[in-house]
Structures are given as structure tokens and as C-alpha cells.
Amino acid sequence: MQKYLYIFLFILLLPLNAFCVSAGEQNTYESEKGQAVIGPPDSETGADENGDAEAGSSGVDWEAANTAASPAGNGGFTVVIDPGHQGSWVDMSAQEPMAPGSSQTKAKATSGTQGLYSGVPEYEVNLQVALVLQDELNARGYRVIMTRTDNDTAISNKERAELATSEKADITVRIHANGSDDTSASGTLTMAPTSANTYLDADIIEKSGTLASCIVNHFSTATGLKNLGVISADDMTGTNWSTVPVAILEMGFMSNQNDDLYITNTANHAVMAQSIADGIDEYFSIVEPQAVAAMALEAEKEEAEKTGDTETEEEEKTTSQEASDKKNAEQPSRPAVPPTPAP
């Protein structure tokens, strides 16, 4: 009977998805205001992105690094986590095209900003949070691919996007922290491509906006850091080369005392990672509701097997089909939040 309760709870929670979307729309407005006040995100100051085509030179065994801890065969989605930047000693100054077919180039990667109060480099806190997020997503049944698991790896922003393509990822979440000359600038924001982006197709742009909205809302609520909403970003190499929905999370401003000391405090990293995972859960419940329902049933089945539930395989299958039918009947596809218009 437990599984019916689970399905019922899932259906009950569906209206919350609509809240996520509407909250994102509101925040988009705030973010545009916020952007004017807080100045450009670190990416625009050149602190945002980075990597190196000679990934092999880093000696990283991607297969081993990325799949060892991932549960297999549970039908979960594949999430690429991209901890922004890398160690300052890794030379990523060579240029690469900012987008497919673009004559504009940017450095393969930069080393990011640094905590004005904590002294912690951005690449370090990005990686710390990303590794906790990796565990959290694995525990929730996702297949997780990391673009890097140490600070020595040389992988360019373009290559990070290409990794998501080759791994057939469902989404990419890029973990960053912000910086500003104005120490009063604070808060969390996400960045997503807009409809003006000619390098990405409309479906990816729309889904990226939904992903960005879900993550920023959950992260802000859980951490108490100000919600600056979704910011337009069409000049990010790692986004423009993406073939899957992608969002950049700027966790907070490392130039602001409260934000810096909060995000670099490892005691907060579990809450931060859980909230990002909650945002990812919500994203999939919006864009892939039937697959999420199937995953929930699968998890329920595994739980039942562990606890010695004696229901037969046939009963489980019937229930799964019923749930699928019910979802088809009750849950028409939801419109995703539209991307932030370019200011």
C-alpha cells in the first residue's frame, strides 16, 4: 500500500511545480534590477569560465572518476556537475571559440574570484560544494558526471560542454561564486541563455530557464541568501557549446562578508547541496513528470525488496502502468518558465 501513498503524495506535490515557475518569473524581474545595481557577474569580468583540450594531460581517468560512485541501471537521469574554474597554477589562457561558428574567442578557462574575507579561492569552494552535490544526487538515484574532481585538472569550458554531450547528459549544472567591486552586493543568482541566443535551440533555452529558476529558488530559500533570480547570459562558452539544458549557479558574492563566510563554511555545504538537488528534482518533475513518477516507483520497489515486501513482480508492473496512465490523464505537459529576456 505504501506505493499508492507515494503516488498520491507525488500528485499532491505537483501544484508546487507551478509555484516554482511563477516564483522564477518574479525573480527574473528582481534579477534584472539587481544586475543593474550589483554590476556584472564574475563571468563578465573574465572570472567566470575555464578548461584545456589536453584533458588527457591531466592524467584523469574520466571513466573511473565519474562512474565509480554512480548507481547503475535505476533509470535515473544523468546530471553533469561542472565545478567552475581550476587551480590558479593551471594555465588555461589559450583561446577557444565562444560558441560554435563564432569568431569571438575567450580563454579556455580562468581561475575565478577569491573570498575577500575567507581567503578561499572560488575554484576550491566550487569543487567542495560540487563533490557534496555529487554524493547527494547519487543517493537520489541520478547518474552523475563530474567535469573535474580536483583542482589540477585542465579542461576548457568548451570541453566541459562537450563532455555533457558525449555522456548523453540530461542537464548540466555549473557551480560558481560571484565577485564584485561593491562589497555590499550580495545574494545568489543563476544564469541562463535567452531566446536571443542563436547557438542553442529553443527547447534547450526554455528548459535552461526552468532549471535556472528552480535551482535559484531552492538555493536561496534553503540558505537564506538573497534571491537575485535568473540573469541573462548568452556569452558563456560552456553554455553556448552545450547541447543539453544548462544553468550556472552563482552561489553568492565572495566579495560580500556574509555571503563569503556562509558559502565557504563547510558546515553549510550539505544544506547547499541538498537545495541544489531539490531544484534539480523539481526541474525534472516539470519537464519529465512521467519519468520522475517511474523513478519514484522504482525507488519504492527497491525499498520494498529491502524490507522484505512480498508483493510479486507482476503486481509492481501493473501498478507502474496504472501510475503512468494516471499521469497521462491528470498531468498535461506543463509550460516551462520562459527565459529571461535580454536587458
Q: Please report the DSSP string for 306-328 in residue order.
A: HTT----HHHHHHHHHHHHHHHH
Residue closer to Zn ion by CB (options 76, 121) is 121
- Listed ranges 24-32, 135-143, 176-184, 187-195: which one lies at the site for Zn ion (CB under 5 A): 176-184
Residue closer to Zn ion by CB (options 32, 122) is 122
Name the residue number minimizing CB distance to Zn ion: 176
Residue closer to Zn ion by CB (options 7, 230) is 230
Instruction: Compose the 37-56 pattern: x for residues touching Zn ion by CB under 5 A, - for all others.
Output: -----x-----x--------
Question: Of 99, 79, 335, which Cα lies nearest the Cα of 207?
Answer: 335
Give the helix/strand (H/E) hosting 189.
Answer: strand 188-192
Rule CB under 5 A: say whether 176 interacts with Zn ion: yes
Please state, in angstroms and as integers, the Cα–Cα distance from residue 321 to each residue in 121, 159, 293, 335, following that order. 50, 40, 11, 25
Question: Of 74, 62, 203, 198, which Cα lies nearest the Cα of 142?
Answer: 74
Give the Cα separation of 133 and 141 in Å (integer). 12
- Nearest-approach distance from CB 176 to Zn ion, in angstroms: 3
| Number of shown-chain residues binding Zn ion (CB under 5 A) | 5
Q: Please report the DSSP string for 48-78 in residue order.
A: S-B--S-GGGGT--HHHHHHTT---SS-PPE
- Listed ranges 161-169, 171-179, 200-208, 269-277: which one lies at the site for Zn ion (CB under 5 A): 171-179
Residue closer to Zn ion by CB (options 156, 285) is 156
Q: Which of residues 82-121 bind Zn ion (CB under 5 A)?
A: 84, 112
Within 10 angstroms of residue 152's Cβ, the number of other Cβ atoms is: 13
Instruction: Compose the 57-86 pattern: x for residues touching Zn ion by CB under 5 A, - for all others.
Output: ---------------------------x--
Residue closer to Zn ion by CB (options 76, 112) is 112
Where does this chain bind Zn ion (CB under 5 A)? 42, 48, 84, 112, 176
